[in-house]
Chain A
Amino acid sequence: MKIVKIYGPGCKRCDATEQMVKGAASDLAIDVTIEKITDPREIAMAGVMSTPGIAVDGTLVHAGGLPDKSKLEGWLSA
C-alpha cells in the first residue's frame, strides 16, 4: 500500500493529476491511497511552491504541472 499525497488548492490540474495517479496505479496493479492536500499551510510545509505537487510515501517527487506518465509509473513502482 502506497500513500500518495497530491498538493494543490483544488484546481483543474490537481484533479487531472489525481486521475493520472489512479490510472497509473491501476495499470501497474499497485494499491494506493490518495490524499488530496488543499490546506495552503500543509502545501507550504511540504516544500511545494508550484502546484500540483506529488509525494509518494512521504517523499516529494514532483511539483508544478502535470506529471509525465512514465515518471509517475516509476515513482509508484519504486
Chain B
Amino acid sequence: MTAETHGTEPLRERPDWFWYFGIAVGGVVWVLLYRQLIPFSEWATALLPIPRHSHTGEAIAFFLYDVPKVLFLLTLIVFVTGVLRSWFSPEKTRAILSGKREILGYPLASGLGVLTPFCSCSSVPLFIGFVSAGIPLGVTFSFLIAGPMVGPVGLGLLFGLVGWKITAIYLVFGFTIATVSGWIMGRMGLERYLQDWVRELNAGAANGLQEERLTMVDRIKVGLDQVKEILGKVWIWVVIGISIGALIHGYVPEAVMLRIMGGEAWWSVPAAVVVGVPMYTNAAGVIPIVEALLGKGAALGTTLAFMMSVIALSLPEMIILKQVLTLRLIAIFIAVVASGILATGFLFNALL
C-alpha cells in the first residue's frame, strides 16, 4: 500500500480481483481507443473549414493526432514503468553499487539509473547518499546521467513516434555516453571540486528505513499513482512540444530544414546542443519535435544531439546540483557530457 493521495476514498478496501480485472479492462479499452486515433484526427480536421493539405490543415492534423497519441502512450509507459520500478529503490541501488568493483560500477550504474525511481527534486539527497556511502564520484555521475537520458518514458515515446531503429540507436548511445562520461570523470579525480561540506560528510549507510513489502496489487497502485502524478505534471509540456512539432510539420519547407539541420551543415550539431541545453522541457515534450524534425529531413545525428542535450543537460537540474557541486565541477560535467553528445551527432551525420 503506497502513495494514495486521497485518503477519503476507500480504495484499499477493494478486493484483489478488482484491480486485476480493472487493469485488464483498461488494457482492452486502451487498445480499442488507440486504434481510432488516425480516423479521429482526420475526422476532426475535416470538420474545420480548412483544406486538409494546406499548411494549416497539415499542422492541425498533426496536432490532433499527436496529442491523444502521446498522452495514450505516456499513460501506458508510465504505468508499466511505475510497476517495474517498484522492485527497485535508491537504497537497493546504493547497496548494489557500493559493493562493486569500480570498472563494473559504471555500466551497472547506467543500467540502474534507468530502473531506479527518482525525480529530479531528489537528485541532491540521492547524490549525497551515494557519495557519502563511498560510491565513486564517476559511478554516481553515470547514474545521474543515465536516469534522465535513457529514461523509459523517452524510449517508449521514441518507439511509438519514430520507430524501433532510432530508439535502439538512442538507447545504445545514451547508455554509452552515460557510462563513458562517468568513467572519464572518475579518472579525473574530481572529488576536490565537491562543495566542502559534501566531502566532509560521511553518512555511511545511515539508514534505518525498513524495506516495505509490496503485494502485486500495491505495485499496480504505484503504477496508477505514477500515471496520475506524471501526466498531471507533463501534459502541458506535451501540448507545447506538439504545437512546435505541428508548426514545423505544417510550415517549415524541407529545403530550409535541409539547409539548417541537414547532414551537410556541420555546424548544425554543436548548434543543436547549444539550443538544446537551455530548453526546459522533458522527454515527453521534446520527442514530438524530434518526430517533426526527422519527418522534414533533418539529419539523424543533429536530431539525436538536440534531443540528448535537451533531456540530459538541463539548466534547472544544474542549478539544483549547485548545492553539492562547485561551478567548476558543473562545467566539467557539462563539457564531458556535451562532448559525448557531439561525438554521437557527428558520427551519425557522417555514417548516414
- Residue in A23, A40, A48, A50 with the greatest tally of chain B CB atoms within 10 Å: A50
A23 smallest CB distance to B (angstroms): 7
| Other-chain residue from A23, A40, A60, A70 in contact with B124 (beta carbon distance below 8 A) | A40
Q: In residues 34-78 of chain A, which contact B (Cβ within 8 Å)?
A: 40-41, 43-51, 59-71
Flag if B209 contacts A44 (CB, 8 Å): no
Interface size on A, residues (CB 8 A): 33
Flag if B124 contacts A9 (CB, 8 Å): yes
Cα A41 to Cα B2 in complex, Å, equals 27
A64 smallest CB distance to B (angstroms): 7
Contacts known (A70-B1, A70-B12); A40 close to B208, Cβ less than 8 A: no
Flag if B206 contacts A45 (CB, 8 Å): yes
**Interface mask (B111-155 → A, CB under 8 Å = 1, otherwise 0):** 000000111011011101110100000000000000000000000
Flag if B129 contacts A49 (CB, 8 Å): yes
- Residue in A24, A43, A49, A60 with the greatest tally of chain B CB atoms within 10 Å: A49
A25 at the interface (CB under 8 A from B): no
Interface of B: prevailing SS:
loop
Q: Which residue numbers of B lie inside 8 Å of A, CB to CB?
A: 1-5, 7, 12, 89-91, 94, 117-119, 121-122, 124-126, 128-130, 132, 197, 201, 203, 205-209, 225, 323-324
A32 at the interface (CB under 8 A from B): no
Give the chain B neighbours of A7 by CB distance below 8 A: 125
A11 at the interface (CB under 8 A from B): yes
- Residue in B90, B94, B209 with the greatest tally of chain A CB atoms within 10 Å: B209
A32 smallest CB distance to B (angstroms): 17
Give the chain A neighbours of B1 by CB distance below 8 A: 68, 70-71
Flag if A20 contacts B125 (CB, 8 Å): no
A16 at the interface (CB under 8 A from B): yes
Flag if A40 contacts B3 (CB, 8 Å): no
Flag if B12 contacts A11 (CB, 8 Å): no
Give the chain A neighbours of B205 by CB distance below 8 A: 47
| Other-chain residue from A48, A59, A69 in contact with B125 (beta carbon distance below 8 A) | A48
Give the chain B neighbours of A51 by CB distance below 8 A: 121-122, 125
Flag if A68 contacts B4 (CB, 8 Å): yes
Flag if B3 contacts A47 (CB, 8 Å): no
A14 smallest CB distance to B (angstroms): 9
Contacts known (A40-B324, A66-B5); A50 close to B126, Cβ less than 8 A: yes
Give the chain A neighbours of B323 by CB distance below 8 A: 40
Flag if A63 contacts B209 (CB, 8 Å): yes
Q: Which residue of B lies closest to A55 (CB)?
A: B208
Flag if B121 contacts A9 (CB, 8 Å): yes
Q: Which residue of B lies closest to A42 (CB)?
A: B125
| Other-chain residue from A44, A67, A70, A71 in contact with B132 (beta carbon distance below 8 A) | A44
Cα A20 to Cα B197 in complex, Å, equals 33
